[in-house]
Every structure is written in structure tokens, then in C-alpha cells.
A and B are shown apart, each in its own frame.
Chain A
Amino acid sequence: MAGGVNNAPRSIVTTETRPVRILLTGIALAFIGLFLVVPLVSVFVEAFRQGWQLYLAALVEPDAVSAIKLTLITAAIAVPLNLVFGLTAAWAIAKFEFRGKSFLITLIDLPFAVSPVVAGLIYVLLFGAQGWWGPWLADHDIKIIFAVPGIVLATVFVTFPFVARELIPLMEAQGSDEEQAAMVLGASGWQMFWRVTLPNIKWGLLYGVILANARAMGEFGAVSVVSGHVRGQTNTIPLHVEILYNEYNFVAAFACASLLALLALVTLALKSWVEWRTERLAAEDRRHATEE
């Protein structure tokens, strides 16, 4: 999680003169303005360029509605799957000692290192018409590539590490004293999990889920390879945006893009809120510790 924000002034010898400070702050803010704020604002300006009515029309059009639905379904499957995986992986890695642990952590991080296009390709090689299981799937009339299951699989791959990598360091830092106490006092495994572990990690868990969800709903490259781009059937919102943009239908493209931009803003707000809560809880803990 990001470092805290500190607004306390520093002593004279460990900071720069006032003009230098103002200059450096100005350059940093100008860079952020140019590279982050301008593109974000432009999405909404372009979306509303021809008024509310065209904007709304672009969002309620059947192909757009089906893209929105598919995006929601994909995230609703991919995020819980990776949530369960993140919990089990973090439990095994943080609470027990075994050989090959750091190698396992590297493998879990692997999907972040792989290009999204390669992530899509590997599923085409497995399940596509030319793939390993392609003929068998065709015989049984099961469609994975160029269909919804492929989109879900590619999304699961690209969001694979989010929850696990958030929980592993958190649970390692917390240790397992509280869980051991619960077990010694006679709690069952599930009681210990629901009453001790989950309350301890809920903020980290939420943080991972927020990030995984944003990626799941916004993924483009991997999904693009496996989707087949069938309008109204296998288009997620990002793919729908691409089609509209390539058809020079800019207002509709930016209208759909503005939904994703809103999602990004909500994600950032939630993320900051979780960070703020965790910082406050940590500060309270420290205060209690010093009072005791």
C-alpha cells in the first residue's frame, strides 16, 4: 500500500529553499496534470460533446447493454475465484513453513509479468480449434475460445495475483499467535477462520478485491485475443469501445469509455478510503501499545 502523506514542515537544514520547493512542486504537478488529469477529463468531454441525449443513447443501445452485462458477469466469476485462491494461498504461505516457498510466491506473481496478449494466446493454444483440446471440445459441442468461458479464463489469469499478493505479506506480519490461541481454546478450524483470521485481514482482502475487480472489468489485451469480437455476444465494455472507436463513432466510444473511467474513479476512491482506514487502525494500535 502507498506510503502515508505527510504535510508537516521539515527543519531548515533538511529541505530546499522556498523557490526550489515551489519550482519542483510545480513541475511535478504539471507532469501529473498533463499526463493524468488531461486524459481523464478528455474522456468525459468527448463523451458529452453532443449532449446528454446522445450520451445516454449510446449506453442503452442493445450491444452496449450486452457488453455491460458480459463485463459484470466476467468480473462476478473471476474475482470470487481469485479471492478463494488468494485466501488459501496466503494461508498456506503465511502460516506454515515449507521448502520452495519463495519460488511458489514468484510463480504466483508470474501472470503480472506476462504480456496480456500472451495470456490470451495460451488459452487459444489449449482450447482453440487448432489447440490441444480443440477437436475434443468441438466433438462435444463445447465452445471456450471466441465464447464467454474463454473471456472468463483470460480474465482469471490476468487478475490471478491481486488478492494473494495483498494477503501474503499482511498475514506474515500478523503471525499466527491469535489463531493458535483460538485452536488451543477449542475452536474448530472454521470458527477460528471466521472469528479470528477474517476480521484481521478484512481490509487487506477488500483492497485486493478492489484492484482485481478494476482489472477484471477493464482488461483489454488478453480478452481481445480470446473474444472473437462478436457484437452483442462476446464483447466486454473495453472491446465494445474499440469497435465503436474504429468505426469513427467517437461519441458512443467515449460514452462507454466514460463508464470505465467512472469505475476507475470509484476504485481510486475506495482504495484511498481503505488505505486511510488501515493507517488509522495502525495509529490506534500504536497508541494503545504505548499506553499499556
Chain B
Amino acid sequence: MAAIGAPTGAMDLRGDARRRRKETRIRRVFQGAAVFSVIVSVLIVASLLGRALFFLSKVDLSALWIPSRGWYPRRGVFDIPTIVMGTLVVSGIGMLVAAPLGLGAAIYLSEYAKPRVRRILKPILEILAGVPSVVLGFFAITWIIPNVVQTIWPEAGFFNMMGAGIAVGILITPLVASVAEDSLRSVPGALREASYGMGARKRTTTMKIVVPAAVSGIMASLILGLSRAIGETMIVAIAAGASGGSAFKINPLEPGQTMTAAMTALAIGSDQVRGQEGTFESLFFVGLVLFFITLVLNIVSERFVRRVRKKY
């Protein structure tokens, strides 16, 4: 007992200086790790910005925004609307697939599934989230396009934006389902009981009480899914069918070029691209545009998520 010693009389409360120094050191180390994450984001912007500006200095700026010229980097034709439209078509189809599937699955798991059923089905859905996108790209050209797209639309080719879009939708379904389910489950049970207590049926309670209460989180799940769809690369690189350049396309049954696929094409073909100055740099410019689009979407979804947190 004496080793610790009972205090008497004049007190020394200064503590152990060595212990305090150690504490400060450890804190610094952790702080450094946190600062590192900020450095990463600065580095992302920095690595994009320099060469993107170089690209902009080399091309005719007004030509970047004329639709219908198409995207042909090797010929020096850079038309932003072409690849933005491609991205919109593919991610739009993806959302048409993922929104009903993901939200339906979320509502079922959160409101209808018995605990035992939920314990089995939810992990399977989460495993689907672990399928790498390159695998879904392969799945798109070997199964989705021949068995689904070409069955419905016989005129579709081997590569098209429809097939890529459906695969993207499958990829983001688990994400949408998981974020939406979290927000549905965070709706307090008392709200459901209040509804049942007034004689409402399950469907009425779900659609009129629970879903509206969780609407912020559901919005967040959709926006997050859209952001992921826009940034998805491998599926479109494999299945959308435009390996190098592409004309301006809206019809999803035709091959098209997205921002991410255009970047991949530039990346893997970089050794051959020896054409116009600035061709390879277009990769950085597209990357910068992509970065900001997803950044805005992420910030918006974050707002929605925070609203949910504040409420409950």
C-alpha cells in the first residue's frame, strides 16, 4: 500500500512528468495520422489540377462543349457532353435498377422480415456487395447482354450502355439497400406503435409513417448510389463498348463512352497515345470533372444523413 502512499499535508498534484510527456507523444502520433488523411485529399486535387490545366491550355476551350462531335482523343477531338451523356445514360439505367431493388429489399428487411429470415438474407445481400466490379463487367457481356438485353431488344449489339447500366445497377443495389435500411431501422419503434395503435395496417404504417420519417436517409442512399454509379469504371470499360473514342450517343442500346471508361482507355493505351500534345492530359481533366461531380453528390448525401442523425 505504501507504494502508492496516502497524501498528507502539503500536496504534490503535479503528477508524473514522464507519463505526461509520453501522453503528449502518443497524441502527436495519432494526430499525424489524421493530418495524413487531409494531405491525401490535397494530393488528389493537386495531382489532378496541374495537368488538367495543362490540358485546358492546349485545346480549344469552346470546342469542349459542342455536342455531337464525339470523343476521339487520338484525333484530338475532346467533347465533354459526349462522355457526360454516356455517364448519365449508364448511371441513369443503373439507378432505375438499383432504386426499386435496393429500396424494396431495404423495406422488406427492415419492416417485414422476421428476425431469423433477416439474419440469413441480409448477409447474402452484403456478400453481393463484395463482388468486384470487374466480375460484374464480365457478367454483363457474358450473361446480361445476351440473355436479358438482346432478348428484349434483339437489335442491340454485343456491347451497349443498357447492359453496362444494368450491371452498374446490380453493383450499387446492396449499397442503396444497406444505407436505406439503416435509416428505416433508426425510425423509433414508438412511431410504428402509435400508428398501429390507431388501427393502421402494416402497409399503411410502412408507407405513410416509417418511410416518410426515414426519407432523408433514403434520399442519401439514392444519392450515394448515384455517386458510386457515376464513378464506376470497370463495368463500363468492359461492357459499354467504346474502347477508344465514341460518337455522341443517347440510345442506350448502342455502345457509348462514359467519363470513367474514357479515362481507362487513356490509361491503358497511354503508351500508344503519341498524337496531339495534351491527349494524355485529358485523362486528368476528365478525372477532375468526375472528382467534383462525385464530391458534390457526396456532400449532398452527407447533408441528408446528418438530418437523420439530428432527428433521432
A and B are interacting partners: no
Interface residues of A (CB under 8 A from B): none
Interface residues of B (CB under 8 A from A): none
